[in-house]
């Protein structure tokens, strides 16, 4: 009986371990975003999760939607496999890695109320028909192709006060990514962690944020 109980415990421990993909975008190694990335990674590793970092800056990811990309996008509505002939090889690399992910994390700064160009390019070129979703025959619905993916967490940094970002700019990231992109493709669990006035708060508060983030991701479950 004890042997059976031990095996049951080990099974549950193994079943809670996830592969987590992190999409990171910040060009400066000394940024607070990099500190956030370290905190997320440490937290995930403490929990035994597997981390797959997609560092857009180090990968020299091209965020521009080229004419061949757009042509593939148009053809993918009727032929989801057609895109593989024309799209950026880096996009295919990201696709293969996203297909294995069970949770997706975005980390980036908010610049002029929105995400940086590389993050926007990732959304444009990777969250793409035939890559991460297909169209239903009616054309009124998107079908998620990332069947292992259970949820996404978006972590942003900015210097705008939270109240100003909400009242004047409508929490643009929340509506664009959580209630827009990832709701549309059918991702059920969506969370946004917004760190505001990063430049102006105390070092103590910035350290507390990092501790909270590390603890949050050390307890991440599917």
Pull the structure tokens for residue 76: 């993918």
The pLDDT value given to residue 210:
98
pLDDT range class, residue 69, cuts 50, 70, 90: confident
**Domain limits, the chain:** 18-218
More confident residue, 217 or 89: 217
* Mean pLDDT of the residues in the chain: 88
CATH superfamily, with its number, for domain 18-218: Flavodoxin domain (3.40.50.360)
Say if residue 65's pLDDT is above 70. yes
The pLDDT value given to residue 4:
41
Say if residue 198's pLDDT is above 90. yes
The pLDDT value given to residue 190:
95
Q: For 167-179, write each residue's pLDDT tens digit.
A: 999 999 999 999 9
Q: For 23-38, write each residue's pLDDT tens digit.
A: 999 999 999 999 999 9
Say if residue 7's pLDDT is above 50. no
In this prediction, residues 124-141 reach a mean pLDDT of 83
């Amino acid at each position: 009986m004890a042997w059976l109980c031990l095996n049951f415990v080990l099974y549950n421990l193994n079943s809670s371990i996830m592969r987590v993909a992190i999409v990171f975008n910040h060009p400066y190694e000394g940024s607070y975003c990099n500190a956030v990335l370290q905190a997320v990674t440490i937290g995930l590793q403490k929990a035994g999760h597997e981390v797959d970092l997609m560092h857009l800056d180090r990968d020299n990811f091209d965020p521009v939607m080229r004419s061949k990309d757009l042509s593939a996008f148009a053809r993918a509505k009727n032929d989801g496999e057609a895109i593989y002939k024309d799209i950026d090889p880096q996009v295919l690399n990201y696709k293969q890695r996203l297909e294995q992910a069970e949770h997706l994390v975005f980390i980036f700064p908010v610049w002029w109320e929105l995400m940086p160009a590389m993050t926007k390019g990732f959304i444009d070129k990777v969250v793409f028909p035939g890559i991460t979703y297909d169209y239903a025959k009616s054309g009124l619905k998107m079908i998620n192709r990332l069947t292992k993916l259970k949820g996404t967490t978006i972590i942003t940094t900015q210097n705008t006060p939270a109240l100003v970002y909400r009242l004047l700019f409508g929490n643009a990231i929340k509506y664009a990514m959580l209630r827009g992109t990832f709701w549309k493709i059918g991702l059920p669990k969506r969370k946004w962690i917004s760190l505001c006035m990063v430049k102006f708060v105390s070092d103590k508060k910035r350290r507390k944020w990092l501790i909270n983030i590390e603890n949050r991701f050390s307890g991440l479950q599917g």
